[in-house]
Amino acid sequence: MWASTSRTAMQFVADHRDHDKWWGLNQMKHGDLASMSNLDFLDKFYTNHVANFRRPKYNGPKNVNLYIHGDSYLYKMYMGDSVFAGVSSLYFIGWTSILHYHLDTTKRNIFIIEVSERLLREYYHTTKIIDEFHDTVETQGKTGVLRSAEQGQKYGSFIPGIISDNFFNKFINQNLQCNIFNYNWIKPMYGSKAALNYYLFDRASGDVIISKDKQYLLLRQTLVPVGNGSSLSPVSDDEISLLVNNFNEIYDYYRGTGFTEIYLSIIPNTATIVQPDGYNNLIPRVQNDPRLKMAVIDIYSVFKQTKEKVFLPGDTHWNNTGKQMWFDTVNKILVGK
């Protein structure tokens, strides 16, 4: 039990567990949702991770330093500098990282804030987030390299850190699940339950829902009528104003530090595109708000118009086609000026 509540112990487990051996079930191998729902035995939800992106046809000068503050949709492991036109240096900053940077004013310094729709309201609904956001770009350092930083959830001051870290962990059930039951030899049992639900009750388990057209697995969080991550939960005008105001503060901050262009790019939930009935219109309402100072990389409209499939069937993220469309949209901006 302690091993599952202790941050240190869980870190040890994560570091030493070989995900291809009998005792290390690889949760993400076939797509996060397919794995979460244990429906990864179905080919229709299989995720192909192989990525081949087009190099842009561009022969002009490489005069752009591109900084992207993004999430798992754009993790650097799946892309490289070569997919962007005219970029001499690409800096990708994940949500839990800090960038030490020094702007080269002889080049175009472009900052893109990429956020997935299901995290948008959670990340940007308080000014506290902006403070954290500011901290992620540390202007004192001038090395231009990425450095990790932990942003762990701590309990209040009453409980000393060492106790909260080792005895009260809000992810203890997931950790116990991982330590006790997350082994390849138990996998058939999970699969049996998932198959029973799928074939008998026509549904997936737990946090995963099958789309109405049966083509996608969807994160339950994005389809329930409550919660910040949902495409259906109502968003008030006041909340839109708050989000726009927060983005404007971020815009002002980065303009003040020397960035010449700052863009906002919101990646829609799969549910927003493939099952839009009752959509709360969060993305268009933020993007089209006349008070928003940031320019927008509007992938929502691109996805709405295309006939192609842009999301992975068994994963929360987009497929290579969707990602390529995002690169193409960004490249139009990069070469357009």
CB of 147 to other proteins, least distance (A): 31
**Which C-beta is closer to other proteins: that of 4 or that of 331?**
4
Contact 40, 29 (CB under 8 A): yes
- Hey, which residues between 139 and 168 contact other proteins (CB under 8 A)? 155-156, 158-159, 164, 167-168
Contact 251, 293 (CB under 8 A): yes
**Which listed residue (63, 151, 192, 288) binds other proteins by CB under 8 A?**
192
Residue 20 touching other proteins (CB under 8 A): no
Distances (CA, A) of 69 to 84, 95, 111, 144, 243: 15, 7, 8, 14, 17
- Please state at what angle helix 117-124 crosses helix 127-135, rounded to 10 degrees: 100
Residue 127 touching other proteins (CB under 8 A): no
- How many residues of this chain interact with other proteins, rule: CB under 8 A? 29
Contact 272, 117 (CB under 8 A): yes
Distances (CA, A) of 279 to 12, 17, 287: 42, 41, 15
- Hey, which residues between 66 and 125 contact other proteins (CB under 8 A)? none
CB of 22 to other proteins, least distance (A): 21
Residue 188 touching other proteins (CB under 8 A): no
Residue 14 touching other proteins (CB under 8 A): no
Which of 81, 35, 38 lies closest to 58 in space, CA to CA? 81
**Which C-beta is closer to other proteins: that of 203 or that of 337?**
203
Compute the distance between CA of residue 304 and CA of residue 158 in angstroms, rounded to an integer.
Answer: 49
CB of 128 to other proteins, least distance (A): 13
CB of 118 to other proteins, least distance (A): 17
Q: Which residues bind other proteins (CB under 8 A)?
A: 1, 4, 155-156, 158-159, 164, 167-168, 172-173, 176-177, 180, 189, 192-193, 196, 200-203, 205-207, 220, 224-226
